[in-house]
Structure 1
């Protein structure tokens, strides 16, 4: 299959007047690469071997797309494009400033809400005390018996439950080997 941009090894060897063994050696050594379908792309052949033999080198320059940059039409067109780009960038800047103002207002609101919270709301207690209800009045801690002043930041020690030091346990459980040993020696 010979396409306009891909060649088989045989076709490429004929086009460049090289032996197929040379092409296969270059492929094996990594100089030349093939596509997944086994064909060699023409751009790859150009990269490795240059222009093929026997093809006429005709250089044509397409001047239709090149425009004289000194004409008034070109300058006017460029000025209009630049003005459009400036307008577009101004709109983007206005949108960005609006987003920034909204974000700053949200940050200010959140900071105000954080400052309004009482210090007790941020504390985590590990006692069995009741948690305050949202609409219930705040319960003041009981005054301590010693002369220290309660500043609201310290926690009150929870009640401690005494555990006896030695608890009698039942007979020690035996594993399978222990039960078999006991049964074997008792018989």
Structure 2
């Protein structure tokens, strides 16, 4: 008869060592004098050993499933980041265009006087250059309004600062004195 050690029983039958010790203590499983277990008794107590190939097959399948899930998750994340990058690049392009327009608009804008056509009965067609000038004028006006708003805000801040400075000058602040000088003044003033 074939004999198995404790570790071999544990591995082949997929049973924890504490379970084997419990079975020996309860009398369900016997152990020979040399500490070995008879395979027939182990089969009677724990059933047939699990085939190794089946365990490996199931573990490989579980690993493959987990790997596939991870791959699909990562692909989804990559797509999200690519879309985000594309949106941000478009936003950068828009901002650069606005910056270019801002730097070009004040230099090319020419102030024009309000003029009306002599013949108001015939409709006037605007040329591309006139349309471009109109767009530049609108941009110039919007930039001027922003600049005026900034000037007003700056002026408001400076007047508030000046007002605060004048208030601080009007009220003299008492000189800060330490504890020792206050005590000394109190002692000397009592004399």
Q: Which has the higher helix share?
A: 2
TM-score by structure 1 length? 0.30
TM-score, length basis structure 2: 0.30
Question: Which is bigger in relative contact order (C-alpha 8 A, separation at least 6)?
Answer: 2
